[in-house]
Chains A and B, each alone.
Chain A
Amino acid sequence: MTAAKGTTTGRQRWWSSPAMRREMRWGLVFLLPWIIGFVVFTAGPMIWSLVISMTDYDPLRGNVNFVGTANYERMLADPTARRALNNTLFFTMLNVPGTVIVGLFLALLLNRVGGRAAGLFRTVFYLPNVTPAVAIGVLFLLVLHGQGLLNTLLRAVGVANPPFWLTDPNWVMPAIIIMALWTTGASVIILFAAIRNVPLDMYEAARIDGANGWQQFKSITVPFISGPLFFVIVVNIIASLQIFTEVWAMFQGRPSAGPSAQRASLMYVPYLFQRAFQDFQLGYASALAWGLFVVVLGITLVQLWLSKRWVYYEDK
């Protein structure tokens, strides 16, 4: 490990000299683009969004009245919001473990072959990730269609009546999860890179001690890659909770999907989007956004807390 540049070590008020003040001024100049962006597009909007969420702001009707916590009360009582949240949590609870397990499995396989072959397979696994999300939605309209690729395959292996993935309300959520699992490539790359960094002599020592494959995986691989693994889990959770484009292209943004499939597949951000940009209930939609914020923050904090029990950092 390289030593940190010694920038702040033990010097108090080092910025009191003119040369340092000059450096400080220039540091500020370099930070300026971010500071402006932060104020105008992040901090300002956050405050504004909080204010809007306490009004009945509706640019179409032109009304702006302070309504206090009414939007939040409405949100908690709104059965559609509840269903959208439940759908999203259900999706996240299946998609994240699925992505991590598939990603880890493929990364371990890649590690077994190594060399050029691993590089080639890695490229292939990542390919779905460069596909635009709308195109993924469109592709899976075809794959999951009653006569589509998946059902053709299912019939070939003897399933007489495969489900109508896109129209049967009971099957739209599994359909969305299948689609989401198709894009695990980024997780594979991160986990593969992490596994390659595990020192080989650790395995050597474990083998001498008589540890079997599973014990080596559990006691060496997982602790060594726990940092990147934790990163993959958290990033996937945050992304899953905000899923929008693929489902919008397949259901809410496609009138021919039909109301029952649209209802059954409704996730949180698509619902928020409907309230905000189709009904222009900006006050209510802002409250929904803060509801999402609380959920994302809460789950992330729980993850951070849990990570102390299993994530291992070399520096400690």
Chain B
Amino acid sequence: MAIEEQRADRSLVPGIERPAAALEPRPRRIPTLQQILVMALLIVFAVIFTYPMLWLLSASLKPATQVFSASLIPDPIMWSNYPDLLAQARNFPTWFTNSIIVSGLAGITVTLSSAFVAFGFAYFRFPYRNAIFGIVLATMMLPGAVTMIPAFLIWQELGFYNTLTPLWAGNLFASAFYIFMLRQFFLGLPRELFEAARVDGAGYIRMWRSVALPLTIPALVVVFVFELKASWTDLVKPLIFLRDVDLFTLPRGLLSIVASAAITGEGHFELLMAAAVITTLPMVILFFLAQRYFVEGIATTGSKG
């Protein structure tokens, strides 16, 4: 996309520093009444955004008959909903393990492969480099549906249908969005660093591994947590590639619970909500641990995109 290319070349400063600096408080000059109004509006929206999530957590601990009550405090607190869920959906622990394996592998592979390719675009000079980079950017706009059916046939042909492999192995080949992002960070590194390493006799691979990677760790963490989240929340690939219940990831398993008459059909919404809580909680924890990286990664996306 021409626009993206144009903007990409504009700022060479590692973007992660910018949003952080932008958070410094500005001098206050707003009349107090207006300030109160702004604060009140923000609190209203904060409630709109958080209440459903807290309500979900609360519903998962309510007795079946009270699931729809608007109150946030379950009375009595039904801790037993969780063991009940595990008793009904026996594969739940397996789904959890599968999700961890898949999203962990997806995160690691895409971070390393994208950093590898991004370094290629940032450091080396070769003909048609910008044109090739344009193709990389263009692939971001391609609707997933176009390649979905052939991808299904390819993995099936390779014998990986109904295995966890197609859920992460595509990440070995880097991903356009992350290449774009990491290239920005590599371009921000002073070239003299690499020349110095070369004088010391380092090969290009070692230059990548011992100079480029250690200096861009925050950016690598951004890519890793983004992909961890993307992979953990993905439903499409598990839906296409997995048949055996034992291989399901959490979103696929959650869908099977939604679809099963045994749980929702009898009005056991509280168990369904417990399943949704278990699926969501690891992402909320990840977000609070890596909040800085999430926020700065997204902010960078917009200013560079």
List residues of chain A with CB under 8 Å of any chain B CB. Answer: 1-2, 4-5, 7-8, 14-15, 20, 23-24, 26-31, 33-34, 36-38, 40-42, 44-46, 48-49, 52, 106, 109-110, 112-119, 121-128, 130-135, 137-143, 145, 147-149, 152-153, 182, 185-186, 189-194, 196-197, 200, 227-228, 230-232, 235, 238, 241-242, 244-245, 248-249, 253-256, 269, 272-273, 276-277, 282, 285-286, 288-290, 292-293, 296-297, 300, 304, 307, 311, 313-315
Contact = CB atoms under 8 A, between A and B. Distances in A.
15 contacts: A1-B12, A8-B125, A30-B124, A45-B154, A116-B25, A131-B283, A132-B251, A135-B276, A139-B273, A197-B18, A197-B22, A197-B303, A245-B251, A285-B149, A313-B6
A23 B123 CA distance: 9
A122 B132 CA distance: 37
Contacts of B264: 254, 256
A253 B24 CA distance: 46
Interface residues of B, number: 114
Contacts of A300: 141
Contact of A132 (B25, B42, B121, B283): B283
Given A145-B68, A253-B258, A307-B3, A34 B117 contact: yes
Contacts of A5: 187, 191
A227 B4 CA distance: 10
B147 A41 contact: yes
Given A30-B124, A122-B295, A138 B254 contact: yes
Contact of B149 (A30, A42, A52, A196): A52
Contacts of B273: 138-139, 142
Given A41-B147, A149-B55, A292-B146, A123 B235 contact: no
A30 to B, nearest CB: 3
B291 interface: yes
A27 B235 contact: no
Interface of B: 1-3, 6-7, 9-13, 18-19, 22-26, 30, 34-35, 38-39, 41-42, 45-46, 48-53, 55-56, 59, 67-68, 70, 113, 116-117, 119-121, 123-127, 129-130, 132, 135-136, 139, 141-154, 170, 172-174, 179, 187, 191, 204, 208, 229, 232-233, 235-236, 239-240, 250-251, 254-255, 258-259, 261, 264-265, 269, 272-273, 275-276, 279-280, 283-284, 286-287, 291, 294-295, 298-299, 301-303, 305
A34 B117 CA distance: 7
B150 to A, nearest CB: 3
A40 B19 CA distance: 37
Given A15-B125, A200-B26, 7 more contacts: A15-B127, A45-B149, A112-B38, A114-B26, A128-B49, A231-B305, A256-B264
Nearest to A311: B3
B289 to A, nearest CB: 11
A22 to B, nearest CB: 9
A54 to B, nearest CB: 13
Contacts of B301: 190, 231
Contacts, number: 339
A190 B302 contact: yes
Contacts of A112: 30, 34-35, 38
Nearest to B109: A33
Nearest to B59: A142
Contacts of A110: 42
Contacts of A127: 49-50, 53, 284, 287
B293 to A, nearest CB: 12
A40 B136 contact: no
Contact of B35 (A52, A113, A143, A255): A113
B173 A33 contact: yes
Given A33-B173, A134-B235, A293 B295 contact: no
A177 B42 CA distance: 21
A4 B188 CA distance: 10
B65 to A, nearest CB: 11
Given A4-B9, A30-B116, A114-B26, A41 B170 contact: yes
A23 B125 contact: yes
Max chain A C-beta neighbours (<10 A), residue from B18, B116, B150, B251: B150
A30 B120 contact: yes
B147 A113 contact: no
Contact of B145 (A248, A256, A282, A289): A289
A153 to B, nearest CB: 8
A193 B299 contact: yes
B90 to A, nearest CB: 19
Contacts of A314: 10
A190 B299 contact: yes
A230 B235 contact: no
